[in-house]
Amino acid sequence: MTRPDSPGASAVPGAPSPGRAAPAASTEAGEPVAAAAPDRPRRRPSLGRIVAACAVIAAALHTLAVLWTWWAWSPGARGSWLVWLDLPVSLAYLDRVGSALLPWSLVAGGLQWAATGALLAWAVGRAAKRRRRP
């Protein structure tokens, strides 16, 4: 038996020490357990899946920002902020006031943010793919 402070001792009782092989696993009936399959290399997700995920994340972030602005700010300030938040596309619904502004901002601005997020993810993914090749 090894002393707990000796170099070959394990910190966990019953665990194999670093210099010895682990005991073979067996079932209660005494039959040996089949060895686990070796880990397969992980496949990288396709660029299309990454672009789609980034589009969804960007639209969700836009939705959270718009809803927080709508409930936390005063009516005059939130209208101005929503116009600046969705700027080129907000020119299409600039004449909307009051509660009509919220759905327009959510849909049109959300689509704009989703497209921007997807385009940015695609550009970064293509640049990384080009750089990875020898």
Tens-of-pLDDT digits for all 134 residues of the chain? Answer: 555 555 555 556 655 556 555 555 556 666 666 666 667 777 888 989 999 999 999 999 999 999 999 999 998 888 889 889 999 898 988 888 888 889 999 999 999 999 999 999 999 999 988 876 66
Task: Give the per-residue pLDDT at 103.
Answer: 93
Q: 83: which residues sit within 8 A by CB, 6+ positions away? A: 90, 94
The number of residues in the chain equals 134
Task: Give the per-residue pLDDT at 130.
Answer: 81
- Residue 24 burial (CB count, 10 A): 8
